[in-house]
Structure 1
Amino acid sequence: MLYPSQEFVNNFVDKFLYLKPILKEHIEDYDEILPHVFLGEIAKWCVANYKNSSQENVQQIFEYIEQTFKNGGEEIQELISVSFLENLSNQNEDERKILKYLGPELLSEFKKINKI
């Protein structure tokens, strides 16, 4: 039986098939799905790719995470807050331009985390 956070990761990768190699490498490294670690890896992938041809993909990922955060339970909201948004907090000023993709719910949570 999968935990909601593991189910989220599976659904997430099923929706964005181009992320499957990241999940495959993740499982090879950890022998299982560690949702917090994986979502941190996705945040880093987004930062690395938002300026290039993957910009539309990054925007779609942010939209999906926004909806999941808005409609998800407490465990999923915590996963997104701690593992995705906090990883976005650790970027330099240029990389923080990615924050323009945050929807209202994620932006509010990001500001709360960072006491903005």
Structure 2
Amino acid sequence: MRDLVAAAPGFEDLFDAHVFNEDGVLPHVFFWDVVQETVASFLGGDETDWRVTLRFLEEQLQLDVPEVTQVVTSSFLFNLPWPDQPGHGLVDHLGPAMGARFAAIRPSG
């Protein structure tokens, strides 16, 4: 998570708030907020660049670290907008590793 914040500094305040409120960061809870910020950025309303986030997460999935793969898959990809929700077009920009994982966990989009 610290590597994500380093790659996408727009998440720094969010990360710090989680540390303060939870006495640490719970990855699945933090990534719920990362999804919300990423979708907002995609829709044009947030400072965090969604492209940087997707690129970073794609690189992390390619490293194939089980703990990272689990968090990215279950807490980021699964929580992306559904076809009838604003921001669903973000899924069209997933890289090959994330796209494959997304298709496996949400075959109908």
TM-score, normalised to structure 1's length? 0.82
1:54: how far off?
A: 5.1
Aligned length: 108
Question: What is the rounded CA distance, in whole Å, between the counterparts of 2:83 and 2:19 in structure 1?
Answer: 25
Corresponding position: 1:79 with 2:71: yes
RMSD: 2.0
Alignment match, 1:45: 37
1:89: how far off?
A: 4.7
Alignment match, 2:80: 88
Unaligned runs of 5+ in 1: 1-8
Alignment match, 1:34: 26
Residues 23 and 38, structure 1, Cα contact 8 Å, conserved in 2: yes
Identity of aligned residues (%): 20
Corresponding position: 1:101 with 2:82: no
Unaligned runs of 5+ in 2: none
Corresponding position: 1:111 with 2:103: yes
Match of 1:21 among 13, 19, 22: 13
CA deviation profile, 1:40-59 (whole Å, cap 9, x unmatched): 21011111121216588101
Corresponding position: 1:65 with 2:57: yes
Greater helix proportion = 1
CA deviation profile, 1:61-104 (whole Å, cap 9, x unmatched): 10110010111311111110011001115574332111122001
